[in-house]
C-alpha cells in the first residue's frame, strides 16, 4: 500500500510541475523508463534519489508517503501553507529562510512575492499582539518594585499604540491618569511623551512648563522639555533644559544623547560626533563596551555627514 502511495505521488508531483518523464530523467541522470517504473510502482527510487526528487518537486520526502498529497510550486510555498495553518513562529522562520535561500538563486514569482508578504504580515500581527500582552503584564506589576522598567513599559506601550493607529486612545487614557494622579511626576512624563508622539508640540510645551514648575528636581521632565523645544526649533532653550537634567543627574547619560541628537537636527554633525565620542568614553569607563561601540558607530555616521 505504501509503495502504491509513493508511486502515485511521484506521478502527481511531476504532472503538477508540468514536467515529462524524460525531463525528470535528464535531471536525475537516469533513463525515462526508470522514472516510468517508479511511477508504476515496479521499482522505487533509492534513499539518495528521494531527497533530490523532493527538492525538484518542491515538497518534503515525507510528503511522498502521504495519501492525497498536494503539490506545491516550491518547498517554500509548502512551508508558507504550514505557517498559515499553525501560526507558529518557528514555522515562520523556517519559511522565511527557505524563501531567502530560494531567492538567492532565482527571481521570485508573483506568487512568491505575495506569500512572502503574507507570512510577514501574519508574523507582524503575532509580534504586535505579543508585545501588547507583555507590556500589559509588565505594567501590572507594582511600579515601586522597579520604577525604571515600569516606566519603560508604559512608554513603549504608548509608542506601540501610536504605531497601530490608537494614538488618540492613548492620549485620552494618559490625560485621565494624570487627572487621577496630578502629584505623580511619571504621569506628567507619560503625557509629555504622548503629546510628542502626537506631534502636538505646542500643547506639550505648555504642559512641560507646568511640570517643570511642579517638579524642579526631576531630570526626566527636563529631558522631555529639551526634546520638545528641539522639535519646536528652540535649540538654545533645549540645551538649557538638557544641562539642567545633567546637573540633576540622569539615568544613563540621557542628556548627552539628547544633546548629540539635537546637534544632528541642527546640522552640526561634527559637534554631534564629538558628543557621541564623549558618551562612548564614559560607557567604556563604566564597563559598557557594547554600548560604547554602538555610540562610536553613531559618531562615525555623524562624521560622514560632514563631508
Residue 71 — left, alpha, or beta (φ > 0 → left; ψ -120 to 50 → alpha)? beta
Identify the pLDDT of residue 70.
65
Give the model confidence (pLDDT) of 86-110 as tens digits: 999 999 998 999 899 889 988 999 9
Identify the pLDDT of residue 71.
67
What span, in angstroms and rounded, lies between the C-alpha atoms of 306 and 21? 64
Residue 69, pLDDT > 60, answer no
- DSSP one-letter string for 145-178: T-HHHHHHHHHHHHHHHHHTT-HHHHHHHHHHHH
What span, in angstroms and rounded, lies between the C-alpha atoms of 295 and 307? 20
What span, in angstroms and rounded, lies between the C-alpha atoms of 77 and 3? 26
Cα separations (Å) of 281 from 106, 165, 223, 264, 302? 47, 40, 22, 20, 17
End-to-end CA distance of the chain: 73
Residue 288, pLDDT > 90, answer yes
Identify the pLDDT of residue 188.
97
Identify the pLDDT of residue 236.
96
Give the model confidence (pLDDT) of 233-262 as tens digits: 999 999 999 999 999 999 899 999 999 999
* Average pLDDT rounded to a whole number, residues 300-305: 94
Residue 62, pLDDT > 90, answer no
Which cell numbers hold the place of 252? 544613563
Nearest to 138 by CA among 148, 127, 123: 148
Residue 29 — left, alpha, or beta (φ > 0 → left; ψ -120 to 50 → alpha)? left
Identify the pLDDT of residue 246.
97
Identify the pLDDT of residue 1.
57
Residue where the block lists cell 510577514: 120
Q: Does domain 1-71 have CATH number 1.20.1740.10?
A: no
Which cell numbers hold the place of 276? 557621541
Nearest to 177 by CA among 161, 200, 154: 154
Domain map of the chain by residue range? Answer: 1-71, 75-140
Give the count of beta carbons closer than 10 Å to the beta carbon of residue 264. 19
Residue 72, pLDDT > 80, answer no
39, 15 in Cβ contact below 8 A? no
Identify the pLDDT of residue 68.
57
Q: To which H or E segment does residue 59 belong?
A: none
Amino acid at each position: 500500500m505504501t509503495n502504491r502511495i509513493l508511486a502515485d505521488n511521484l506521478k502527481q508531483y511531476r504532472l503538477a510541475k508540468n514536467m515529462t518523464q524524460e525531463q525528470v530523467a535528464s535531471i536525475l541522470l537516469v533513463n525515462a523508463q526508470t522514472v516510468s517504473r517508479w511511477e508504476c510502482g515496479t521499482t522505487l527510487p533509492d534513499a539518495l534519489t528521494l531527497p533530490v526528487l523532493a527538492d525538484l518537486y518542491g515538497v518534503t520526502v515525507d510528503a511522498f508517503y502521504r495519501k492525497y498529497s498536494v503539490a506545491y510550486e516550491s518547498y517554500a510555498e509548502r512551508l508558507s501553507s504550514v505557517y498559515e495553518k499553525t501560526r507558529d513562529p518557528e514555522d515562520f522562520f523556517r519559511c522565511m529562510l527557505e524563501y531567502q535561500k530560494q531567492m538567492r538563486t532565482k527571481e521570485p514569482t508573483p506568487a512568491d512575492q505575495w506569500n512572502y508578504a503574507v507570512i510577514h504580515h501574519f508574523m507582524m500581527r503575532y509580534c504586535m499582539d505579543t508585545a501588547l500582552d507583555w507590556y500589559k503584564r509588565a505594567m501590572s506589576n507594582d511600579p515601586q518594585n522597579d520604577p525604571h522598567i515600569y516606566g519603560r513599559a508604559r512608554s513603549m506601550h504608548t509608542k506601540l499604540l501610536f504605531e497601530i493607529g490608537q494614538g488618540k486612545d492613548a492620549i485620552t487614557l494618559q490625560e485621565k491618569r494624570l487627572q487621577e494622579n496630578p502629584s505623580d511626576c511619571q504621569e506628567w512624563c507619560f503625557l509629555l511623551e504622548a503629546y510628542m508622539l502626537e506631534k502636538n508640540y505646542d500643547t506639550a510645551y505648555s504642559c512641560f512648563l507646568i511640570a517643570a514648575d511642579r517638579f524642579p528636581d526631576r531630570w526626566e521632565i527636563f529631558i522631555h522639555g529639551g526634546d520638545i523645544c528641539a522639535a519646536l526649533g528652540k535649540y538654545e532653550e533645549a540645551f538649557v533644559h538638557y544641562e539642567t537634567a545633567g546637573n540633576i543627574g540622569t539615568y544613563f547619560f540621557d542628556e548627552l544623547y539628547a544633546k548629540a541628537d539635537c546637534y544632528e537636527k541642527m546640522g552640526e554633525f561634527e559637534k554631534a560626533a564629538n558628543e557621541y565620542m564623549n558618551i562612548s568614553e564614559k560607557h567604556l569607563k563604566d564597563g559598557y563596551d557594547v554600548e560604547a561601540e554602538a555610540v562610536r558607530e553613531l559618531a562615525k555616521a555623524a562624521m560622514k555627514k560632514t563631508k
